[in-house]
Amino acid sequence: MRKIAGYLTKNRGEKDQKIAQSTHENGYIKPRKTFWRNSKQLLIMARKELEGVNANSAEVLASISL
C-alpha cells in the first residue's frame, strides 16, 4: 500500500494509482467527494421543494378558510 494525497491506496500490479479515492477490493472506485457533494445538493433541493410545498399548502388553507 502507498499513500497518495492523504489516502491509503493499493498498488495494482505495475499500474500507477493516480486517484486519491477509496478503492474497493474488486477494483471499482468509490468517489467519496462526489457522493457527499451530490448528497448535499439533493438535500438542498429537497429542502427547497418542501419549503415550496409548505408555502403552497399555507396559501391553499388560507384561501379555504376565507
**What are 20-57's pLDDT values in tens digits?**
445 555 566 656 666 677 778 888 888 888 887 777 77
Task: Give the chain's radius of gyration (CA, Å).
Answer: 23
Per-domain residue ranges of the chain: 1-30, 31-66
Q: Which of the two residues, 51 and 3, has the higher pLDDT score?
A: 51
Q: Does the structure show a pLDDT above 80 at 64?
A: no
Q: Does the structure show a pLDDT above 80 at 19?
A: no
What does pTM read for this prediction?
A: 0.34
SS3 content of the chain, % helix, strand, coil (to 5): 50, 15, 35
CA distance 20 to 6: 8
CA distance 10 to 14: 11
